Amino acid sequence: MQRRFGVLAVLLSSLLLSVGSGWAAYPEKAIKWIVPYPPAGTTDVLARIIAQSLSERLGQQVIVENKPGGGNNIGTEFVVNAPADGYTMLFVNPANGINASLYKKLNYNFIRDITPVAGLARTPNVMVVTNSLPVKTVAEFIAYCKANPTKVNMASSGSGTSVHLSGELFKYMTGCQMAHIPYKGAGPALTDLIAGQVHVLFDNLPSSMPHIKSGRLRALAVTSKNREPSMPDTPTVGDTVAGYEATAWFGVGMPRGVPREAVDRINQEINRILADPKIRERLAELGGLPTPGTPEDFAKTIASETEKWGKAVAASGATAE
Protein backbone atom coordinates (compact mmCIF):
# COMPACT_ATOMS: atom_id res chain seq x y z
CA MET A 1 0.00 0.00 0.00
CA GLN A 2 2.79 2.39 0.90
CA ARG A 3 4.51 1.57 -2.37
CA ARG A 4 1.29 2.27 -4.29
CA PHE A 5 0.93 5.67 -2.66
CA GLY A 6 4.58 6.29 -3.34
CA VAL A 7 4.12 5.57 -7.04
CA LEU A 8 1.03 7.79 -7.15
CA ALA A 9 2.94 10.59 -5.50
CA VAL A 10 5.75 10.31 -8.03
CA LEU A 11 3.29 10.28 -10.94
CA LEU A 12 1.41 13.30 -9.55
CA SER A 13 4.66 15.10 -9.00
CA SER A 14 5.77 14.38 -12.55
CA LEU A 15 2.45 15.58 -13.94
CA LEU A 16 2.63 18.83 -12.01
CA LEU A 17 6.21 19.36 -13.11
CA SER A 18 5.35 18.70 -16.75
CA VAL A 19 2.42 21.13 -16.62
CA GLY A 20 4.48 23.75 -14.84
CA SER A 21 7.46 23.36 -17.12
CA GLY A 22 5.17 23.56 -20.15
CA TRP A 23 3.95 26.99 -19.16
CA ALA A 24 7.38 27.99 -17.92
CA ALA A 25 8.52 27.43 -21.49
CA TYR A 26 5.57 29.35 -23.00
CA PRO A 27 5.54 30.25 -25.81
CA GLU A 28 6.92 27.20 -27.57
CA LYS A 29 5.89 28.31 -31.05
CA ALA A 30 4.93 31.43 -32.99
CA ILE A 31 2.02 33.57 -31.78
CA LYS A 32 -0.48 34.96 -34.26
CA TRP A 33 -1.56 38.56 -33.55
CA ILE A 34 -4.74 39.48 -35.41
CA VAL A 35 -5.13 43.11 -36.48
CA PRO A 36 -8.72 43.58 -37.72
CA TYR A 37 -7.75 46.30 -40.23
CA PRO A 38 -5.63 46.54 -43.40
CA PRO A 39 -1.92 47.44 -43.27
CA ALA A 40 -0.82 51.08 -42.79
CA GLY A 41 -3.47 52.16 -40.27
CA THR A 42 -2.85 53.00 -36.61
CA THR A 43 -3.64 49.51 -35.34
CA ASP A 44 -1.20 47.98 -37.84
CA VAL A 45 1.57 50.52 -37.13
CA LEU A 46 1.35 50.09 -33.35
CA ALA A 47 1.05 46.31 -33.57
CA ARG A 48 4.21 45.99 -35.65
CA ILE A 49 6.19 48.23 -33.29
CA ILE A 50 5.21 46.10 -30.28
CA ALA A 51 5.38 42.76 -32.13
CA GLN A 52 9.04 43.21 -33.00
CA SER A 53 10.05 43.81 -29.38
CA LEU A 54 7.69 41.11 -28.10
CA SER A 55 9.22 38.56 -30.49
CA GLU A 56 12.68 39.39 -29.17
CA ARG A 57 11.61 39.10 -25.54
CA LEU A 58 9.63 35.88 -25.96
CA GLY A 59 12.16 34.13 -28.18
CA GLN A 60 9.32 33.22 -30.56
CA GLN A 61 7.96 35.09 -33.55
CA VAL A 62 4.86 37.23 -32.99
CA ILE A 63 3.28 37.34 -36.43
CA VAL A 64 0.97 40.25 -37.24
CA GLU A 65 -1.87 39.10 -39.48
CA ASN A 66 -4.32 41.60 -40.94
CA LYS A 67 -7.96 40.47 -41.11
CA PRO A 68 -9.96 43.54 -42.15
CA GLY A 69 -13.66 43.86 -42.83
CA GLY A 70 -17.01 43.93 -41.13
CA GLY A 71 -16.21 47.07 -39.17
CA ASN A 72 -13.56 45.18 -37.15
CA ASN A 73 -15.86 42.21 -36.51
CA ILE A 74 -14.24 39.69 -38.87
CA GLY A 75 -10.88 39.79 -37.13
CA THR A 76 -12.43 39.91 -33.67
CA GLU A 77 -14.71 36.93 -34.35
CA PHE A 78 -11.72 34.99 -35.68
CA VAL A 79 -9.97 35.39 -32.32
CA VAL A 80 -13.15 34.66 -30.35
CA ASN A 81 -13.37 31.30 -32.15
CA ALA A 82 -9.64 30.50 -31.98
CA PRO A 83 -8.28 27.88 -29.56
CA ALA A 84 -7.76 29.32 -26.08
CA ASP A 85 -4.16 28.13 -25.96
CA GLY A 86 -2.27 31.42 -25.80
CA TYR A 87 -1.17 31.39 -29.43
CA THR A 88 -3.77 33.74 -30.90
CA MET A 89 -4.07 37.37 -29.81
CA LEU A 90 -6.32 40.25 -30.85
CA PHE A 91 -5.25 43.85 -31.30
CA VAL A 92 -8.01 45.51 -29.28
CA ASN A 93 -9.09 48.98 -30.37
CA PRO A 94 -12.01 51.41 -29.85
CA ALA A 95 -14.23 49.64 -32.38
CA ASN A 96 -14.47 46.71 -29.97
CA GLY A 97 -16.14 48.97 -27.42
CA ILE A 98 -18.23 50.78 -30.02
CA ASN A 99 -19.58 47.74 -31.85
CA ALA A 100 -21.30 46.41 -28.74
CA SER A 101 -23.94 49.12 -29.15
CA LEU A 102 -23.53 49.95 -32.85
CA TYR A 103 -24.48 46.48 -34.11
CA LYS A 104 -27.84 45.03 -33.19
CA LYS A 105 -26.66 41.48 -33.83
CA LEU A 106 -23.15 40.16 -33.25
CA ASN A 107 -22.00 36.55 -33.14
CA TYR A 108 -20.07 37.25 -29.94
CA ASN A 109 -20.11 39.35 -26.80
CA PHE A 110 -16.77 41.12 -26.61
CA ILE A 111 -16.59 41.60 -22.85
CA ARG A 112 -17.61 37.97 -22.26
CA ASP A 113 -15.64 36.30 -25.06
CA ILE A 114 -12.30 38.11 -25.07
CA THR A 115 -9.87 37.95 -22.15
CA PRO A 116 -8.18 41.32 -21.45
CA VAL A 117 -4.38 40.91 -21.46
CA ALA A 118 -2.68 44.32 -21.53
CA GLY A 119 -3.17 47.94 -22.41
CA LEU A 120 -0.79 49.41 -24.99
CA ALA A 121 -1.40 53.07 -25.67
CA ARG A 122 -3.90 55.89 -25.90
CA THR A 123 -3.78 58.41 -28.71
CA PRO A 124 -5.76 61.45 -29.80
CA ASN A 125 -7.37 61.53 -33.18
CA VAL A 126 -6.33 64.29 -35.52
CA MET A 127 -8.55 66.28 -37.87
CA VAL A 128 -6.70 66.20 -41.20
CA VAL A 129 -7.81 67.67 -44.51
CA THR A 130 -6.69 67.29 -48.09
CA ASN A 131 -4.33 70.06 -49.19
CA SER A 132 -6.72 71.17 -51.91
CA LEU A 133 -9.32 72.25 -49.35
CA PRO A 134 -9.02 76.05 -48.85
CA VAL A 135 -9.04 76.01 -45.03
CA LYS A 136 -6.30 76.23 -42.41
CA THR A 137 -8.26 76.28 -39.14
CA VAL A 138 -11.24 74.51 -37.59
CA ALA A 139 -13.23 77.75 -37.71
CA GLU A 140 -12.51 78.13 -41.44
CA PHE A 141 -13.49 74.49 -41.99
CA ILE A 142 -16.83 74.97 -40.24
CA ALA A 143 -17.50 78.11 -42.29
CA TYR A 144 -16.60 76.27 -45.50
CA CYS A 145 -18.92 73.35 -44.61
CA LYS A 146 -21.83 75.67 -43.93
CA ALA A 147 -21.22 77.57 -47.16
CA ASN A 148 -20.97 74.28 -49.12
CA PRO A 149 -23.40 71.93 -47.35
CA THR A 150 -23.40 69.23 -50.01
CA LYS A 151 -19.78 69.29 -51.10
CA VAL A 152 -17.73 68.00 -48.14
CA ASN A 153 -17.01 64.28 -47.84
CA MET A 154 -15.83 62.88 -44.51
CA ALA A 155 -13.77 59.70 -44.77
CA SER A 156 -13.42 57.14 -41.99
CA SER A 157 -11.62 53.86 -41.38
CA GLY A 158 -15.00 52.12 -41.20
CA SER A 159 -18.53 52.65 -39.95
CA GLY A 160 -18.68 52.74 -36.18
CA THR A 161 -14.96 53.20 -35.59
CA SER A 162 -13.72 55.93 -33.24
CA VAL A 163 -12.58 57.73 -36.40
CA HIS A 164 -16.15 57.70 -37.73
CA LEU A 165 -17.78 58.66 -34.43
CA SER A 166 -15.25 61.42 -33.78
CA GLY A 167 -16.49 62.93 -37.04
CA GLU A 168 -20.13 62.33 -36.17
CA LEU A 169 -19.59 64.07 -32.83
CA PHE A 170 -18.04 67.02 -34.69
CA LYS A 171 -21.02 67.17 -37.05
CA TYR A 172 -23.46 67.05 -34.14
CA MET A 173 -21.68 69.78 -32.18
CA THR A 174 -21.07 72.16 -35.11
CA GLY A 175 -24.05 71.62 -37.39
CA CYS A 176 -21.72 70.79 -40.29
CA GLN A 177 -23.23 68.66 -43.03
CA MET A 178 -20.77 66.11 -44.38
CA ALA A 179 -21.33 62.90 -46.33
CA HIS A 180 -19.73 59.93 -44.56
CA ILE A 181 -17.51 57.77 -46.79
CA PRO A 182 -16.44 54.60 -44.90
CA TYR A 183 -13.30 52.67 -45.91
CA LYS A 184 -11.92 49.30 -44.86
CA GLY A 185 -9.22 50.79 -42.69
CA ALA A 186 -7.23 54.00 -42.38
CA GLY A 187 -4.74 53.07 -45.12
CA PRO A 188 -7.14 53.34 -48.07
CA ALA A 189 -8.90 56.34 -46.51
CA LEU A 190 -5.58 58.19 -46.25
CA THR A 191 -4.71 57.32 -49.84
CA ASP A 192 -7.91 58.92 -51.13
CA LEU A 193 -7.57 61.88 -48.77
CA ILE A 194 -4.08 62.63 -50.07
CA ALA A 195 -5.42 62.35 -53.63
CA GLY A 196 -8.26 64.76 -52.84
CA GLN A 197 -11.02 62.20 -53.42
CA VAL A 198 -12.36 62.95 -49.93
CA HIS A 199 -11.90 66.09 -47.83
CA VAL A 200 -11.52 65.38 -44.12
CA LEU A 201 -10.63 62.51 -41.79
CA PHE A 202 -10.64 62.35 -37.97
CA ASP A 203 -7.86 59.81 -38.00
CA ASN A 204 -5.94 58.13 -35.20
CA LEU A 205 -2.78 60.23 -34.98
CA PRO A 206 -0.13 57.50 -35.51
CA SER A 207 -1.27 56.62 -39.04
CA SER A 208 -1.63 60.25 -40.15
CA MET A 209 1.52 61.60 -38.52
CA PRO A 210 3.95 60.63 -41.34
CA HIS A 211 1.71 62.33 -43.91
CA ILE A 212 1.38 65.45 -41.76
CA LYS A 213 5.15 65.66 -41.35
CA SER A 214 5.72 65.19 -45.08
CA GLY A 215 3.20 67.92 -45.93
CA ARG A 216 0.92 65.57 -47.87
CA LEU A 217 -1.93 66.35 -45.45
CA ARG A 218 -2.85 69.39 -43.37
CA ALA A 219 -3.63 68.94 -39.68
CA LEU A 220 -6.25 71.36 -38.38
CA ALA A 221 -6.53 70.12 -34.79
CA VAL A 222 -6.20 67.18 -32.42
CA THR A 223 -9.26 65.73 -30.71
CA SER A 224 -7.84 65.40 -27.18
CA LYS A 225 -8.66 67.75 -24.33
CA ASN A 226 -5.10 69.11 -24.27
CA ARG A 227 -2.61 69.81 -27.03
CA GLU A 228 -0.51 66.89 -28.23
CA PRO A 229 3.17 67.23 -27.13
CA SER A 230 4.43 65.91 -30.47
CA MET A 231 2.43 68.66 -32.27
CA PRO A 232 2.59 71.62 -29.86
CA ASP A 233 1.60 74.16 -32.50
CA THR A 234 -1.57 72.29 -33.46
CA PRO A 235 -4.67 73.41 -31.51
CA THR A 236 -7.39 71.13 -30.17
CA VAL A 237 -10.82 70.90 -31.73
CA GLY A 238 -12.10 71.99 -28.33
CA ASP A 239 -10.32 75.33 -28.70
CA THR A 240 -12.96 76.15 -31.31
CA VAL A 241 -15.79 73.74 -30.46
CA ALA A 242 -16.24 73.99 -26.69
CA GLY A 243 -16.49 70.62 -24.94
CA TYR A 244 -15.33 68.48 -27.86
CA GLU A 245 -13.01 65.57 -26.92
CA ALA A 246 -12.29 62.09 -28.35
CA THR A 247 -9.33 59.73 -27.94
CA ALA A 248 -8.47 56.20 -29.07
CA TRP A 249 -7.19 53.33 -26.90
CA PHE A 250 -5.41 50.11 -27.81
CA GLY A 251 -4.44 46.84 -26.18
CA VAL A 252 -4.17 43.05 -26.38
CA GLY A 253 -6.82 40.40 -25.87
CA MET A 254 -7.01 36.59 -26.12
CA PRO A 255 -9.91 34.13 -26.44
CA ARG A 256 -12.05 33.43 -23.38
CA GLY A 257 -10.67 30.60 -21.25
CA VAL A 258 -7.01 31.13 -22.12
CA PRO A 259 -4.75 29.98 -19.25
CA ARG A 260 -3.82 32.75 -16.83
CA GLU A 261 -0.14 31.81 -17.25
CA ALA A 262 -0.27 32.94 -20.89
CA VAL A 263 -2.08 36.16 -19.97
CA ASP A 264 0.43 37.00 -17.26
CA ARG A 265 3.48 36.25 -19.44
CA ILE A 266 2.31 38.48 -22.29
CA ASN A 267 1.20 41.20 -19.86
CA GLN A 268 4.57 41.24 -18.10
CA GLU A 269 6.56 41.40 -21.32
CA ILE A 270 4.37 44.15 -22.78
CA ASN A 271 4.74 46.23 -19.62
CA ARG A 272 8.51 45.83 -19.89
CA ILE A 273 8.38 46.88 -23.53
CA LEU A 274 6.31 49.95 -22.68
CA ALA A 275 8.92 50.91 -20.07
CA ASP A 276 11.69 50.88 -22.70
CA PRO A 277 12.74 54.50 -23.40
CA LYS A 278 13.19 53.73 -27.11
CA ILE A 279 9.66 52.35 -27.41
CA ARG A 280 8.24 55.26 -25.42
CA GLU A 281 10.05 57.66 -27.73
CA ARG A 282 8.73 55.83 -30.80
CA LEU A 283 5.17 55.95 -29.46
CA ALA A 284 5.54 59.63 -28.57
CA GLU A 285 6.60 60.37 -32.15
CA LEU A 286 3.29 58.83 -33.22
CA GLY A 287 1.29 60.70 -30.59
CA GLY A 288 0.82 57.65 -28.38
CA LEU A 289 0.86 57.65 -24.57
CA PRO A 290 1.81 54.20 -23.15
CA THR A 291 -0.82 52.64 -20.86
CA PRO A 292 0.89 49.83 -18.91
CA GLY A 293 -0.98 47.96 -16.19
CA THR A 294 -2.51 44.67 -15.14
CA PRO A 295 -5.05 42.63 -17.13
CA GLU A 296 -7.63 43.89 -14.62
CA ASP A 297 -6.68 47.49 -15.40
CA PHE A 298 -7.27 46.85 -19.10
CA ALA A 299 -10.60 45.17 -18.32
CA LYS A 300 -11.71 48.38 -16.59
CA THR A 301 -10.67 50.42 -19.64
CA ILE A 302 -12.70 48.18 -21.94
CA ALA A 303 -15.76 48.44 -19.69
CA SER A 304 -15.61 52.23 -19.30
CA GLU A 305 -14.94 52.86 -23.00
CA THR A 306 -17.77 50.54 -24.02
CA GLU A 307 -20.13 52.56 -21.83
CA LYS A 308 -18.77 55.91 -23.10
CA TRP A 309 -19.03 55.09 -26.80
CA GLY A 310 -22.41 53.48 -26.25
CA LYS A 311 -23.69 56.89 -25.25
CA ALA A 312 -22.02 58.46 -28.32
CA VAL A 313 -23.64 55.90 -30.62
CA ALA A 314 -27.03 56.57 -29.08
CA ALA A 315 -26.59 60.34 -29.42
CA SER A 316 -25.46 60.11 -33.04
CA GLY A 317 -28.17 57.66 -34.06
CA ALA A 318 -25.54 55.60 -35.90
CA THR A 319 -26.36 51.96 -36.59
CA ALA A 320 -24.78 49.11 -38.52
CA GLU A 321 -25.91 45.66 -39.56
Instruction: Specify the CATH number for the domain of residue 142.
Output: 3.40.190.10
- pLDDT band at residue 121 under the 50/70/90 scheme: very high
Contact by Cβ (8 Å): 91, 178? no
pLDDT at 11 over 90: no
Question: Same domain, yes or no, for 230 and 86?
Answer: no
Q: Please state the rounded mean pLDDT for residues 209-227.
A: 95
Question: Does residue 1 form part of some domain?
Answer: no
The reported pLDDT for the residue numbered 150 is 86
Least confident of 35-44, 200-209, 226-235, 312-321: 312-321
In which domain, by residue range, is 159 found? 125-239
Quick one: pLDDT band at residue 184, thresholds 50, 70, 90?
A: confident
pLDDT of 250 strictly over 70: yes
Looking at the structure of the chain, the number of domains it has is 2
165 and 115 both lie in a single domain: no
Q: 202 and 135: one domain?
A: yes
Percent of the chain with pLDDT over 70: 92
Which range has the worst mean pLDDT, 5-9, 86-90, 105-109, 291-295? Answer: 5-9
* pLDDT classification of 15: cutoffs 50, 70, 90: very low
What distance in Å separates the CA atoms of residue 97 and residue 107, rounded to the nearest whole number? 15
Per-residue confidence band for 252, with pLDDT thresholds at 50, 70 and 90: very high
pTM assigned to the model = 0.77
Q: Cα angle at 64 between 58 and 70, to 5 degrees? A: 140
- 267/227 same-domain check: no
Judge whether 15 lies within some domain: no
Indicate the pLDDT class of residue 5, thresholds 50, 70 and 90.
very low
On whether both 77 and 226 belong to a single domain, the answer is no
Q: How large is the average pLDDT for residues 85-113? A: 94
Of the two residues 11 and 318, the one the predictor is more confident about is 318
CA 146/CA 120 separation, integer angstroms? 39
Q: Are residues 292 and 147 in the same domain?
A: no
Within this chain, do residues 73 and 43 fall inside the same structural domain, yes or no?
yes
User: Which of 208, 239, 270 delimits the end of a domain?
Assistant: 239
The verdict on 43 and 112 lying in the same domain is yes
Claim to verify: residue 111 and residue 252 sit in the same structural domain: yes
Sign of CA pseudo-dihedral 74, 76, 81, 83: positive
pLDDT the model gives residue 10: 37
Element (H, E) at 23: helix 2-24
In whole angstroms, give the CA distance from residue 207 to residue 43. Answer: 8
